[in-house]
Amino acid sequence: MFIEIKKLTKTYNDFLAVNDINFVIEKNKTLGLLGPNGCGKTTTIGMILGLVTPSLGEILIENKNINLFRRDEILKRFNFASPYVELPKKLTVKQNLEIYGRLYGIQNLDERINDISSELDIKNFFERKTGELSSGQKNRVSLAKSLINKPEILLLDEPTASLDPDIGDFIRSYIQDYKSNNKVTIILASHNMSEVERLCDTIVMMKKGKIIDRGTCIELIKKHGRNNLEETFLKLARSKDEL
Amino acid sequence: MNFNKIYALGLRHLYLIMNSFPRVLDLIYWPTVQIFLWGFISKFFTLNSEYYSNTVGIILTAAILYDFLFRASISFNMMFLEEIWSRNFTNLFIAPIRIREIIAALTLTAILRTLIGLVPAVLIAIPLFGVSVLSLGVPLIFLLLALYLFGVTLGLLVTSGLLRYGPSFENIAWASLFFLAPLGCIYYPIEILPQSLQIIAKGLPLVHIFEEMRSILMNNTVNYFNILKSISISLIYFIFGVLIFYISYFGAKKRGTLINMGE
């Protein structure tokens, strides 16, 4: 296994944000992290990214505890995009990509920026300040930043939140293509069930900090006797007792 | 230390300045106003006070050096706050850059912001008031070094507070230097302070820096031991500041505040 989460727990004072969760992700697969708001998805992502220290448990990358890697050595294998995290607004798109390219130590940076910009169709607003862009444009720039280092592990937190269906579909199609053409393991947190169905190989369903179910999309729908993932999500999210 | 990454982070702040003329204006405006204000006060004292009669512009030189300290500290804080305000904090802290490289980048880039603000003001003071800080000679370099180290230390302590308490700590960033100014003996000798405060003041590098500045301007003598003392005290505070920053960073990771910063 590529990534293994073992007995991961995070407590803030008396509040149990993540409660003893375990899951594995195989290399070059996509795992969907689902659950209602406040279920611990963001905290879990934060722990994987090294932004939050777990109270208990460990995160293993290729069987090695993530804490045993040097901070800069492990983080150059990761990247992250979320509409809730922005790039410096007063810098142009090009400047932002240049800075993050340098921070990630990218060789042939101009070429890489050129490639990723063409793929994500952001070249026409390259010289505009990032803060002046529309939500759809910002999301594409944010995705470009998250792929600048061709990460082995990509974490996406609601990558299509608040986007119109057209741009949302563009992003989903792009991720799908990128996945099939590159070696990347993705952890995707999303509330968009069709997105999860389309992109994820396996799903982990969380509620109140715990994992309440897991499996492939088809397995979960079948297991809960529903027609689609949205209905399955609603059933699990509204259930009083954890399964 | 990876200097390419330090350069990248410095470049981020350089672009920020270059992209905005009002930002450059803001950097220059306040030090210039300070120089005008203290220049006129200084001129008045020079003409009306025996104490200052032999040392033209001593107050103005003190004002310039104090502003250097102030700008160094504020620049450090501002660059950190920019990451919070622009909601870029998470991106920065998940980038493969080590904490020491972030500190180094902020420390080195703060000098640029400080100089952009201060150099025009210093140049204005020469023809307008006939005062040049360069008259301090070679010791000026060491005095600036001590001031810069201490300014960055204050910046480190404030940013540690930002990491610990979140953006609400921002107000402290502006207040931090005014709190220390009375004890720094910037415009008056240490003897003015009550005995109990003198003991505390001697623990700060500012007293030694500004006492030495006055000594050079008024007596034309340089005491390099005092200068070395001020640099050493600043360096001790700087190391302490770095330590506090690390403690706050690990504390913030434990409390989970890094992931919500700026959201």
Span A75-92, pLDDT tens digits: 999 999 998 888 999 999
CB contact under 8 A, A90 and B11: no
Residue A84, chain B, CB below 8 Å: the answer is yes
A16-20, A23-27, A199-203, B50-54: segment of lowest average pLDDT: B50-54
Of B182, B163, B142, nearest to B77 by C-alpha is B163
Residue A102, chain B, CB below 8 Å: the answer is yes
* All structural domains of chain A with their residue ranges: 1-77+154-159+184-243
- Token look-up 């180290």 returns B149
Which residues of chain B have a CB within 8 Å of the CB of A82? 90
Helix (H) / strand (E) containing A154: strand A153-157
- Token look-up 């959201």 returns B263
How far, CA to CA in Å, does B107 sit from each of B79, B96, B100, B110, B209? 10, 19, 10, 5, 20
Please state, rounded to an integer, the average pLDDT across all residues of chain B. 88
pLDDT of residue A98: 96
CB contact under 8 A, B90 and A52: no
Please state, rounded to an integer, the average pLDDT across all residues of chain A. 90
Kindly report the pTM of this predicted structure: 0.89
Q: Is residue B76 part of a domain?
A: yes
Q: What is the pLDDT of residues B116-155, one digit of tens each?
A: 988 998 898 899 888 888 888 899 999 999 999 999 999 9
- Token look-up 């952890």 returns A187
ipTM for the assembly: 0.87
Q: What is the pLDDT of residues A21-33, one digit of tens each?
A: 999 999 999 999 9
Of B147, B14, B143, nearest to B70 by C-alpha is B147
pLDDT of residue B42: 76
Residue A80, chain B, CB below 8 Å: the answer is yes
Q: Is residue B75 part of a domain?
A: yes
A186 has which bridge partners? A30, A154
A93 with A141: CB under 8 angstroms? yes
How far, CA to CA in Å, does A53 sit from each of A47, A201, B259? 6, 28, 11
Averaged pLDDT, B90-119:
91
Res B263 pLDDT > 60: no
Cα separation, B111 vs B118, whole angstroms: 10
Averaged pLDDT, B193-211:
92
DSSP annotation of A12 reads E
DSSP per residue, A112-144:
HHHHHHHHTT-GGGTTSBGGGS-HHHHHHHHHH
Q: What is the pLDDT of residues A61-76, one digit of tens each?
A: 998 999 899 888 899 9
Of A6, A37, A55, A47, nearest to A190 by C-alpha is A37
Of A150, A148, A142, nearest to A28 by C-alpha is A150
Cα separation, A211 vs B110, whole angstroms: 46
pLDDT of residue A243: 45
Cα separation, B81 vs B99, whole angstroms: 16
Cα separation, B99 vs A133, whole angstroms: 31
Range of the domain at B150: 3-255
Of B261, B83, B5, nearest to A75 by C-alpha is B5
Q: Which of residues 14-53 of A touch B (CB under 8 A)?
A: 17, 42-43, 46, 49-53
Q: What is the pLDDT of residues B214-223, one digit of tens each?
A: 899 888 889 9
CB contact under 8 A, B90 and A90: no
Question: Chain B: nearest CA to A79, how far in angstroms?
Answer: 7
A212 with A206: CB under 8 angstroms? yes
Cα separation, B53 vs A31, whole angstroms: 77
Facing residue for A75 by CB, picked from B7, B89, B95: B95
pLDDT of residue B35: 87
Q: Is residue B263 part of a domain?
A: no
Which residues of chain A have a CB within 8 Å of the CB of B8? 99, 102-103
B63 with B79: CB under 8 angstroms? no
pLDDT of residue B55: 60
Question: Chain A: nearest CA to B195, how far in angstroms?
Answer: 45
% of chain A with per-residue pLDDT over 70: 98
Q: Which fold has domain A1-77+154-159+184-243?
A: Rossmann fold (3.40.50)
Averaged pLDDT, A48-68:
92
When divided into structural domains, chain B yields a total of 1
CB atoms within 10 A of CB A235: 15
Q: What is the pLDDT of residues B34-78, one digit of tens each?
A: 888 888 887 787 777 776 665 657 888 898 999 999 899 988 988
% of chain B with per-residue pLDDT over 70: 95
Q: How many A×B Cβ pairs under 8 Å?
A: 113
